[in-house]
Structure 1
Amino acid sequence: MNDFAPTGLLQNCHAQTLLSSTKLRRLRIYPRAKAMLNASKTVILDCGDGHQLLGEFATQAKRSKGIVTLIHGWEGNSQSSYMLSAGGTFFNAGYDVFRLNLRDHGPSHHLNKELFNSARLDEVIGAIKAIHATYPHEWQFLAGFSLGGNFALRVAAKAAEADLNIQQTIGICPVVDPAKTMIALETGWWGYEKYFVRKWQKSLQKKIRLYPELGYKDNLLKLKSLREMNKYFIPNHTQFATPEDYFKAYCIADDVLASLSSPAHIIAAQDDPIILSEDLSRLAASQYLHIETKQYGGHCGFVKNYQLDSWLDGRLLELINLCRYPSGQPGKNGAS
């Protein structure tokens, strides 16, 4: 599965990024995800300190091979195409799957009064601990996409400190340097910034209807760009005084991943228009970290053919199976 060689239009980074979430691809995903969706139940997790997160858990009718927790990207949710595609692949291969919604993503705005921000790592660690305690498995895996990949890798870096047992963590096109990602969104193809502005505003409108005392309703109507939104919401609704301080708080460059204590794997594309592949060189060297880059793939795309099949799903499953069966032979190392 190491080779990813799309042809023609599929070598275009924007085509990869957009095709991965088209309605046509969702039509192809649903049949493959049907078993997982039928087995899924909605769960509210107690993450500690009065915080709650929402997720969907699908368990096998028979003994499972382990549990895979998936974390979506910014303004995605547990129903995003890539979450259903990857989740369905893991479930069909015999794994239990937990699709976690970050705060204020999916139908979870009512659970916590304070707004989501990407520095809220403790509640995500609390969610993973709650998942593992409620659904104990010998084999526990974690994977995240984009911002979710950033969260997953930060959780893995804190695993020993938090007494978390994670056999393998995978970050797909993870945000490395948020400040540079924001610049890429502002200066790249206009459609990306417009997409995130629209999604973020819609989420904030839903939140203010539930908690009008947050008091930003009138200001929200005036904010037309990510820069304007960050300059207003960061000092007024986070513990950070400036966007620069906020972005540093969840940057994973430099020594952040030096504390990894279990295997972590990054899958990224050199042509990603949102997460610059050059930032990967700024990650701390670690015996536990492996970085896999592909020439093509866009942002969380990795569509391998014109039937819109995913190369990524097969690669994710391969990586986790290799962790369970390093010899390539199921049944060893206590595996079922």
Structure 2
Amino acid sequence: MVIEEFVPHPFLTHPDLMTLIPRYWPRPGLLYRLPCESRLFTVAPETSILGYCHWQPDAKQRPAMILVHGLEGCSDSHYMLGIARKAWQAGFNVIRLNQRNCGGTEHLSPTLYHSGLSADVRHVAEELCARDGIQAIWLAGYSMGGNLVLRAAGETGTLSETLKGVVAVCPNLDPAACVETLEERRNWMYQKYFLTSLKARLKRKARLFPGKFDLSPLAAIRTLREFDECYTAPDGGYQGAADYYERTGARHLLKSINVPTLILTAQDDPFIPYRSFETPGLQSNPWIHFVAPKHGGHCGFIQRSRPHEDRYWAENRVIDFALRPPQPSSNSP
């Protein structure tokens, strides 16, 4: 399959600019006139996640695309709204998922969220098939959400007949490598942003679930690794941060994926190192199409002006791939 080349906006070739500017780039009216139903999906005992469903008039005859955001994002993250609009206009039912605790839903789950909760995505897909009569499912995820949808594809199980394809944009296939890169001095602002947000969320959780979370170590935590060691890993049933990172990376499941899959990343992503994609499961699986432009930042991909497309190159490639999924072919990065 030929993927349209990414030509970056001439002023955004620096990876940090490409990563940060899209967050503030004006995108008015993305959900204008899109039908929207808010819905709670039960994914575990006493645990629900909130999704926003944009149904086509003939929903049962249309495929559904489930969108999953990244770390400390939500269903209203700019890329979630952008891809939702494009997917709906292309004829898909669209479900914008909030991961556990995200989008103001801390009260819906007693647990934290983490990179291994791909079962939540599968539960949502299974409910759409059983309750809504959806017969074809696509999964699309950004960053941490990309890791989750790739994991879900590798674990297909009962989804094997209805899962039609997967797209992951800048997925953190190797969480340990990602955290290590975030600890580099040049990435201090990203680590600070994520850590500040995670700490604030944990405080909200502690108020909602008194006695469940010990906040006494929180003030001394200075890195994401320390946060995961103290909170994320034990809450998720892992022995520690190292065990958590090793067991949740989708790289272990890539070889099991047997549906059309597109992985988009940028070689200059500031905190998901390109070396994490040099894994045998990715290189050898003919179902996986891997595209890695030199520029793009982390989930940025703002392109030079082109006729018939907006500036959001990755969003357009997601839709192109889902509309015309290729058959297995020889894979070359």
- Equivalent position SS for 1:56: strand
1:172 aligns with 2:180: no
Compute the displacement of 1:50 (Å): 4.3
Deviation string, structure 1 residues 55-99 (Cα, Å, up to 9, x no partner): 110112355642111000011010001100111111122221001
Aligned Cα root-mean-square deviation (Å): 2.2
Q: Select between 193-202 and 160-169 the one with higher mean Cα deviation.
A: 160-169
- C-alpha separation in 2, matches of 1:283 and 1:205: 40
1:46–1:130: 8 Å Cα contact kept in structure 2?
no
- Structure 2, unmatched stretches of 5+, are 328-333
- Equivalent position SS for 1:10: coil
User: How do residues 69-148 of structure 1 correspond to structure 2 at under 5 angstroms?
Assistant: 69-148=66-145
CA, structure 1 residues 318+6, in 2 after alignment: closer, same or farther (shift >3 Å)?
Answer: same
- C-alpha separation in 2, matches of 1:141 and 1:218: 42
- C-alpha separation in 1, matches of 2:233 and 2:286: 38
Q: Which residue of 2 aligns with 1:252?
A: 250
Compute the displacement of 1:232 (Å): 1.4
Pairs aligned (count): 318
- C-alpha separation in 1, matches of 2:44 and 2:225: 32
- Structure 1, unmatched stretches of 5+, are 327-336
Q: Select between 186-195 and 213-222 the one with higher mean Cα deviation.
A: 213-222
Q: For 2:277, give the aligned amino acid.
A: L
Q: Which residue of 1 aligns with 2:287?
A: 288
CA, structure 1 residues 202+77, in 2 after alignment: closer, same or farther (shift >3 Å)?
Answer: same
Q: For 1:195, give the aligned amino acid.
A: Y
Q: Which residue of 2 aligns with 1:46?
A: 42
- Equivalent position SS for 2:11: helix
Compute the displacement of 1:33 (Å): 2.9
TM-score (norm 1): 0.88
Compute the displacement of 1:215 (Å): 3.1
1:178–1:248: 8 Å Cα contact kept in structure 2?
yes
Q: Which residue of 1 aligns with 2:297?
A: 298
Q: Which residue of 2 aligns with 1:310?
A: 312
1:61 aligns with 2:81: no
Given the alignment, which residue of 225, 230, 242 partners 1:227? 225
- Equivalent position SS for 2:32: helix
1:129–1:164: 8 Å Cα contact kept in structure 2?
no
CA, structure 1 residues 107+10, in 2 after alignment: closer, same or farther (shift >3 Å)?
Answer: same
1:320 aligns with 2:322: yes
- C-alpha separation in 2, matches of 1:180 and 1:232: 19
Q: Which residue of 2 aligns with 1:277?
A: 274
